[in-house]
Amino acid sequence: MILKIIFMKMQFFKYQGVGNDFILIDNRDSQINHQQPEFIQQLCNRRFGIGADGLLVLQKKEGYDFEMVYYNANGQPGSMCGNGGRCLVAFAKHLKLIGNETHFLAVDGPHYATISDAGNWVSLKMIDVDIIKKDHDAFVLDTGSPHYVKLVTDLDQINVFNDGRIIRNNSNYNENGINVNFVEDFEDHYFVRTYERGVEDETFACGTGVTAVALAMAKKKGHFGLINTPIRVQGGKLNIRFNYDGLRFSDIFLEGPATFVFKGEMEIESVKAITGDTPVPLEA
């Protein structure tokens, strides 16, 4: 088989959910080979690429409206991304794949979501949670991604990058990594800052992280029943609503804005067989 180098245009969209920003690609035609870490790193690089906390790929999936494939900014496949999921729902509405509700598949299983008529407010159902562990005075739980939750004071003064990196890389979590959330308790809301694995930096928001905070704080305070938890992050405000019966957290919804930023095209090198095989991007 003879191969030749060609160039193809790749259309991309940029969305953000309270400052957690993503590159989105419609890959329903399967033209883009996205399983290329260096290529994804280049796309997400804020100086040499488009710039983002991660890459979201929308694909066809039988039995669902679409499939969500997520990569961290380091180019590696990620676990569930809550704000990314909300942004992909808004993108699917823009593509006219869905109306005001959807069922889609992500790495942690099926998800249900609703979206406003205007397409800018998304309520995403997260997985149920029934296990919360303690690590000294912190909580550890999985909301689709693993999270460490630590209650602090004067969160504005904490060096989240340094302190979060130390916890993420300690002997307990270094092998698989963990997202580290610092939370300050105010009377009417929680303030949360997060160090994210895969990005290896503080992000303006983390959807699975604020979900973990809301559940951990409900357990800590002994709150039961239907609970609404307003949360403030660096990039804005989110809300978590859920039911807690004392043993299991269920009907968990991550709610907030999902905002279109811009769209564009970039030229990428590809290879194509003379026989006419589908072109795929070369390694960046």
**Span 113-138, pLDDT tens digits:** 999 999 899 999 999 999 999 999 99
The per-residue pLDDT for range 156-189, each reduced to its tens digit, is 999 999 999 999 999 999 999 999 999 999 989 9
14 in Cβ contact with 4 (< 8 Å): no
Residue of 32, 206, 213, 227 marked catalytic? 206
pLDDT bracket for residue 4 (50, 70, 90): low
Position 269 scores a pLDDT of: 66
Q: Cite the DSSP H helix spans in 143-248.
A: 160-168, 207-221
Check whether 67 has a pLDDT greater than 50: yes
Cβ partners under 8 Å of residue 185, min gap 6: 151, 217
Answer yes or no: same fold for 3-120+260-281 and 132-255: yes
Q: Is 44 a catalytic residue?
A: no
Q: CA nearest 268: which of 59, 27, 39, 37? A: 39
Residue of 81, 215, 254, 258 marked catalytic? 81
* Top-tier CATH class for 3-120+260-281: alpha beta
Domain range list for the chain: 3-120+260-281, 132-255
Q: What is the pTM of this model?
A: 0.91
The CA–CA distances, whole Å, from 249 to 72, 125, 147 equal 27, 12, 16
The CATH number assigned to the domain with range 132-255 reads: 3.10.310.10
